[in-house]
Amino acid sequence: MPGHAPAPSKPPLNPNAERGRQLVRLSRILLAAGLLLMIASCGAGIAVRVPFVIFGGAGLGFLVIIGAAVVGQIGRGFQGRVI
């Protein structure tokens, strides 16, 4: 019918979208690894009664989680989903 706008189409695929998906997937793996490291190091430190294991492992896990957040944001940027 005259006067109607054409149906919207999907935007062209970003060539970096696949790289962005890989980075987002990597960030999820890093997040899981960081959480596991934090929990496991606390349990191991309590079992062997060594405070360094508790705080060192938890700190390292926290740094891995921060790295996961940065990698995830870079991946979302590659996909064009910048927040």
The domains of the chain are located at 24-79
- Shortest CA distance to 78 belongs to which of 10, 22, 32? 22
For the whole model, what pTM was predicted?
0.79
Cα distance between residue 54 and residue 79, in whole Å: 37
Contact 37, 79 (CB under 8 A): no
pLDDT value at residue 76: 92
- Shortest CA distance to 58 belongs to which of 33, 41, 44, 36? 41
Average pLDDT over residues 54-62: 96
pLDDT(83) > 70: no
Fill in the amino acid letter for 30: L
Fill in the amino acid letter for 82: V
Cα distance between residue 37 and residue 79, in whole Å: 29
